[in-house]
Chains A and B, each alone.
Chain A
Amino acid sequence: MKTPKHPISEKEVSHLAELARLELSGKDVTEMRLHLNKILDYFKMIDEVDTEGISPTYHVFDLVNVLRDDTPHSPESKDLLENVPKKKGRYIKAPRMI
């Protein structure tokens, strides 16, 4: 499979930024596109490798069934709320949805 030298368009960069929830200005998009394409061009190098019939290595060693007993611990909630930027009582405040 041959892909164009610069796989990502500015439109695609903007779409990715939306998916990743990263605000990008128009200038950012242009700059980002240049950087991304440079690196993606380099990544294309892996096309040279024939991986037909090869399984992916998601886990490097063959551990299976690592399980935990269903025994509750008392929750450690106190310190966890210390880092919350916006609270209302014990609720974590989030922006409006719509």
Chain B
Amino acid sequence: MSSESKKIKIGLEVHCQLTSLKTKLFCNSPSDYREKPPNTNICPVCIGTPGSLPVLNRNALNYATMVASSLNFEIMSHMIFFRKNYFYPDMSKNFQITQYDRAGGVPFAINGYILLNDGRKIRLGRMQLEEDPAKISYDGTIESSSETYVDYNRAGIALIEIVTEPDLESPSDAREFLNKLSSILEHLNVLDLGLEGSVRCDANISHRGGKRVEIKNISSFKEVERALNFEMTRQKSLASKGISVSQETRHWDDVRRITISLRLKEEEQDYRYFPETDLVPVTLSETFIEKINHDMPELPKEREIRFQQEYNHSSEIARVLVKDKYLADYSEKAAKESIAPREVGILLAVNLPPFLNEIGKDLKSLDVAPEHFAELADMISKGEVSRRSAKTIFLEMLKTGQKPRNIFDKKGLDVISDSKSIEDIVTKIFKDNPEAVKDAAKDTKAINFLLGKIMQETQGRVDPSIATKLVKQKLSVQ
């Protein structure tokens, strides 16, 4: 950790939709609002029709309890909902039903935490359950649009809000934190991070002692690091010019990838929180929480340990695999099919990521079955292919989706093991490179050049140790 970045304090306010629910938080409208024509996924309750009343979704309570429990939160035993009063065109009632920690209110849970890899504890101040607003679209940008269009399909979707203390010290901390959070939430099966807009984030960032800048409207976890990096650079550059950072709210423009000040009239916010008495109090008994814990799916931390035990993965590999539930599930399928699960782990955790980075895709979008990875791992572990050939097959497999065995057969990538064939190759290389043979006779370091030529000629199919032995033999008789 450089001393520079230690000067940074970052806090996050994360909003996650509980996308696995079938209905909205307070009404029976379906939760799968995406792709639907505007304002077709609504009912009197979620559009705020006069006279309609909210009723709490039982599963939302169950899911929220699971989330709170797995993030080490202290869950409140008695809570009421509050109204947060403010006007905005995306608010169907011009108040949001949420939770509050004053005036006799408590959040859903308090004092949770997530541990980073280096053991630092990121404190989670509170978690609460609330409803999502509608979605507004513009002609062009928010600034230029002369009228706007509201679609209430999303209004009333269940959200959990998780608020961290300003314990994150760099944008990469934020990324690690969000990766861990995502993996936990996905392991709980409460949300699908792949769905557009299922997670949103507001961030606050400040140099130690400096003014706090809020960044709103960060529409995915991936954007958070980018937005924070931009804002960190902006603040540093201001500081270097001797300009002080002003306390303000900036919006992340994910097209231009910059934060912008909207220069809105800074109005004093007064949300006039007070109890939502259309809903009755919620009590969560210890028995209830115990039952939820008992039925809870396996969490990443537990899975990481099991992966080491069951599949003989190293701790580092196991950690990489559970970082993402899809990868973890995928690796587990492959490992189960393989006699060499450890090799599977290496392929997926070490070899795969650079490839994906390069082509800018994720595992989900590749047309490769877990069984393919298992087959390749087996071939490697049985010594049927050299490491070098394995890499060729691996890349071919990822690009084409073909089975490793087919690639292997088609390309003739089997290891050349009979000494007659290898001798012929060595002889050919010696004949083609007389200068190099002379050098090698004088200086053993030059042997590597000849070996390289042999590998090139055979596409790496000879065992390097056999080739070395034969080259040395041939040099000594010359």
Contacts and interface: CB of A to CB of B under 8 A. Distances in A.
A–B direct touch, CB within 8 Å, in complex? yes
A73 B58 contact: no
B136 A94 contact: yes
A34 to B, nearest CB: 23
A66 interface: yes
Contacts of A98: 142-143, 262, 264
Interface class of chain B by DSSP: loop
Contact of A91 (B38, B59, B283): B38
B156 to A, nearest CB: 11
A2 interface: no
B159 interface: no
Contacts, number: 129
Q: How large is the interface on B (under 10, 10 to 19, 20 to 34, 35 or more residues)?
A: 35 or more
Nearest to B57: A70
B78 to A, nearest CB: 8
Given A66-B55, A95-B148, A97-B142, A58 B137 contact: no
A12 B283 CA distance: 39
A34 B98 CA distance: 35
Nearest to A73: B28
Contacts of B137: 91
Interface class of chain A by DSSP: loop
Contacts of A70: 21-23, 57-60
A75 B280 contact: no
Chain B CB count within 10 A is highest, among A19, A64, A74, for A19
B42 interface: yes
A3 interface: no
Interface string B52-70: 0001111111000000000
Contacts of A67: 55-58, 61
B282 interface: yes
Interface residues of A, number: 35
B96 interface: no
Contact of B49 (A18, A80, A93): A80
B283 A75 contact: no
Interface in A51-66: 55-56, 58-59, 63-66
A35 interface: no
A59 B281 contact: yes
B282 A94 contact: no
Contacts of A97: 89, 136, 138, 142-143, 145, 148
A72 B57 CA distance: 11
B104 interface: yes
Interface of B: 21-23, 28-31, 37-44, 47, 49, 55-61, 80, 87, 89, 104, 136-138, 142-143, 145-152, 262, 264, 267, 270, 272, 275, 277, 279-283
7 contacts: A63-B280, A64-B280, A67-B57, A69-B58, A72-B31, A75-B43, A91-B137
